[in-house]
Amino acid sequence: MSYKEKKVITIGIVSELTGLSERQIRYYEERRLIFPERTNGGTRKFSFMDVEKLVSIANQMEDGMQTSEIRKLEKKKLSTQDAEVRNRMIQGQLNAAFPTKKR
């Protein structure tokens, strides 16, 4: 796991980094656009990737997009990425099973 994926940043720091209010950040969580981890005490912890995603969400909202549209776009992007990974894996398996001869 890279440092960008580690959930270590509190909501107050995320608010300072993004310029979003804590209420906006909680709203995006409620709308299932962001998924912070929770400590045993219930404190939200975010990653640097979450911070980047929140900035992107805020920009999309400023452009007039609805949260449901943003969620659909994110879902589509993830399924496209999954398909690309799957295709690379299949190509790797084919290359291993049928190596080409080098001349």
Cα gap 67→57, rounded to integer Å? 8
Please give the pLDDT value at position 5: 92
Please give the pLDDT value at position 89: 83
Task: Provide the strand spans (E) within 1-103.
Answer: 37-38, 44-45
What structural domains does the chain harbor? 11-97 (1.10.1660.10)
pTM for this predicted structure: 0.71
- CA torsion sign for 22, 23, 24, 25 is positive
State the Rg of the chain over Cα. 19
pLDDT tens-digit series, residues 49-90: 999 999 999 999 999 999 999 999 888 887 777 777 788 888
pLDDT tens-digit series, residues 3-50: 889 999 999 999 999 999 999 999 999 999 999 999 999 999 999 999
Cα gap 92→83, rounded to integer Å? 14
Sole residue written with tokens 């962001």: 34
